Amino acid sequence: MKHIVKIMTFFVAITAVWISLLQTAMIPQSHTWLLPLYFIVSLGCYGLLMVGIGLMQFPTCPQESVLLQQDVIEAKLFLKHNGVDVGSD
């Protein structure tokens, strides 16, 4: 099944629940009409929250840059010694 079909199925199910709520009037109609808005807002909040958490916990590795510089020096020394042209610095 294509992924878009899965997502559409999910939305159709949600819409069906919403319409049935409208029909049966289990909760006041004025509230029910606002439910899609709540849904969109909470989806947006979820997105922002996940991006925020991701940013706060973004793994960084400053020490790797230092290690890499050491590797580069070692590599250049070996390569130059073996006749590979790796520049003059």
Partner 1 sequence: MAEQQNKNKYSIIVPTYNERLNIALIVFLVFKHIPDVDFEIIIVDDGSPDGTQDIVKQLQRVYGDDRILLRARPRKLGLGTAYIHGLKHASGNFVVIMDADLSHHPKYLPHFIKKQMEMGADIVTGTRYVRGGGVHGWTLMRKLTSRGANVLAHTLLWPGVSDLTGSFRLYKKSVLEDIISSCVSKGYVFQMEMIVKASRKGYHIEEVPITFVDRVYGSSKLGGSEIVEYLKGLVYLLFTT
Here the tokens at position 36 are: 């899609």
CB of 14 to partner 1, least distance (A): 15
CB of 45 to partner 1, least distance (A): 12
Q: Does 85 participate in binding partner 1 (rule CB under 8 A)?
A: yes
What is the distance between the alpha carbons of residues 22 and 82, in angstroms, rounded to a whole number?
Answer: 79
Kindly report the number of other CB atoms within 10 A of residue 23's CB atom: 9
Q: With H, G, I as helix, E, B as strand and everything else as coil, classify residue 2.
A: coil
CB of 39 to partner 1, least distance (A): 14
- Nearer to partner 1 by Cβ, of 23 and 63: the residue is 63
Please give the distance of CA 87 from its chain centroid, rounded to a whole number.
41
Within positions 10 to 69, which residues make up the interface with partner 1, using CB under 8 A? 46-47, 50-51, 54-55, 58-62, 64-65, 68-69
Residue 33: partners with Cβ closer than 8 Å, 6 or more residues away:
22
> What is the binding site for partner 1 (CB under 8 A)?
2-4, 7, 46-47, 50-51, 54-55, 58-62, 64-65, 68-69, 71-72, 75-76, 78-79, 82-87
